[in-house]
Structure 1
Amino acid sequence: MKWQTLASQLFPQGHDIVEHDYFLHGTAKVDQQTVAVIGTTGHTSIGVEIALAQANAILDTMRNFPGRPLVILVDTQGQRLRYRDEMLGINRYMAHLGKCIDVARRRGHAVIGLVYDQALSGGFITSGLMADACYALPEAEIRVMGLAAMARITKVPLERLTELAVSNPVFAPGAENYLNMGGVEAIWQGDLASCFARALQQADSIDQRSARGLERGGRKMSLPVTQLVLGTRDVLPT
């Protein structure tokens, strides 16, 4: 879906979102309140420029409009894999973006993420996955690492990973699998404006992803291990 079509459906009360070099920013009206919107489009990779632009937009919102909700529209093929960006410290730029989102949440800004097209690797981890809750459209393509790349890193044969992906969402891409793991709160269909308004009302700064993953059967050990580390349970389930 093109971002212009998405914005019209999400914000029928009006918006002033603009695109500059694949970076989206602006404001929109939702139930008579203003929300700040940042994001990416065109399957762009996240280089130092876009990471810094998104971080600056969040800082400007915190400085000038305390408490204003933040919306992150996600369409990215991940971090930019270029020598220049690596030498400039792309990891620090992306960490800076993630920290800005976290500071905004701690200061009372509700943060909603929406994957409307692609969401890959580090470009997703430091944007949509940093939100209070991340949502997706049914056609969204979500993955942190492709199976071929995973096979190269883990030395597990691609055929075995492909077999595991059939029954285990941890190994499989797609919005439905990330829903089962708790990384995606819900998949939106139908009236997107109503879906967004409801998500804004339900926004909660407490991280529920491990609990959601356990409830949905996609991540059965994350919450028990966390509880064991925190000392709120004695043993892991068998």
Structure 2
Amino acid sequence: MTLAEILASLFPEGHAVRVADGLVTGRAPFDGAEAAVIGIDGDTPLGVEGALALSRAVLDAVRAGDRVPILVLVDSDSQRMSRRDELLGLNECLAHLAKALLLADRAGHPTVGLIYGHSAAGAFIATALATRVLAALPGANPSVMDLPSVARVTKLPLERLEEMAKSTPVFAPGLDNMVATGAVHAVLDPARPLDAQVRDLIAGLPAEDVRDRLGAERGGRPVAQAVAAAVAAEARRG
């Protein structure tokens, strides 16, 4: 689905969502009230200016005090790979965006990500993965790091990683693997109205982050939940 089709399905009453330089911002009638919308479209890389602009939109929604849902629509490249952005503190700007979404979540805003295209690396982490629940549309292609990059970082042969990825989802990019690890909570049906499906996601919003539990249940991360619980228990004892 294109962004225009997604917006029409999410907001059949119309919307005031705009796209400028690949950044998505605006508001729309939703479920008897309103929703705030941010995102990235057109496989756009996320740079300093974009991260700060999206952060401002999230913080403006929090300051408004109405606790509206915040929908994060994502079709991005990775973070913008430029010396200029790195020197201007792109890592801090991406962290700021992620923290703004986490703040909105703690302030009572339901935060729902929807990935409908590509996304990778820091841009994926700071947008889609920073929401309380992340949904996807068929054909989405998310990844935290592609296998050639993993090979460079780990110094493991690419061929070995490709073989490991066949049975271990945490080593592999792609929608199916993100579902298996629990990073993507649900894959939506584009043949059905998206507004009802997102309303259902919000109605069933978990009280805490359940990605580790989903990863264990789906077999994509069989030990993460137990390890996290053990670390938390040890911290409480300390």
Instruction: Give TM-score scaled by structure 2 length.
Output: 0.94
The answer (yes or no) to whether the contact 1:111–1:203 under 8 Å persists in 2 is no
1:209 to 208, 211, 220: 211
Task: Provide structure 2 residue ranges, at least 5 long, that are not aligned to the other structure.
Answer: none
Kindly state the Cα deviation for residue 176 of structure 1 after the two structures are TM-superposed.
1.4
Task: Provide structure 1 residue ranges, at least 5 long, that are not aligned to the other structure.
Answer: 233-238
Partner Cα distance (2:64, 2:109) in 1:
12
SS at match of 2:27: strand
1:226 to 214, 225, 228: 228
Q: 1:166 to 1:182 in 2, by over 3 A?
A: same
SS at match of 1:134: strand
Kindly state the Cα deviation for residue 193 of structure 1 after the two structures are TM-superposed.
2.1
Kindly state the Cα deviation for residue 221 of structure 1 after the two structures are TM-superposed.
1.1
Partner of 1:4: 4
Write out per-residue CA displacement over residues 158-186 of structure 1, whole angstroms, 9 at most, x where no aligned residue.
10111111111111111111111000001
Partner Cα distance (2:233, 2:58) in 1:
35
Partner of 1:157: 157
Instruction: Give TM-score scaled by structure 1 length.
Output: 0.94
Paired residues for 1:44-63 under 5 Å: 44-63=44-63
SS at match of 1:17: strand
Partner Cα distance (2:13, 2:198) in 1:
13
Kindly state the Cα deviation for residue 107 of structure 1 after the two structures are TM-superposed.
0.8
Q: Which letter does structure 2 place at the counterpart of 1:4?
A: A
Partner of 2:77: 77
Higher mean C-alpha deviation, range 43-52 or range 203-212: 203-212
Paired residues for 1:194-205 under 5 Å: 194-205=196-207
Partner Cα distance (1:125, 1:95) in 2:
9
Partner Cα distance (1:204, 1:39) in 2:
22
The answer (yes or no) to whether the contact 1:132–1:205 under 8 Å persists in 2 is no
Paired residues for 1:47-196 under 5 Å: 47-189=47-189, 190-191=191-192, 192-196=194-198
The answer (yes or no) to whether the contact 1:42–1:75 under 8 Å persists in 2 is yes
Partner Cα distance (1:5, 1:145) in 2:
29
Q: Report % sequence identity.
A: 40
Higher mean C-alpha deviation, range 10-19 or range 31-40: 10-19
The answer (yes or no) to whether the contact 1:181–1:217 under 8 Å persists in 2 is yes
RMSD: 1.2
Kindly state the Cα deviation for residue 19 of structure 1 after the two structures are TM-superposed.
0.7
Partner Cα distance (1:20, 1:230) in 2:
43
Moved over 3 A (4+): none
Kindly state the Cα deviation for residue 109 of structure 1 after the two structures are TM-superposed.
0.7
Write out per-residue CA displacement over residues 36-81 of structure 1, whole angstroms, 9 at most, x where no aligned residue.
0000101001100110000000111111243111000011111111
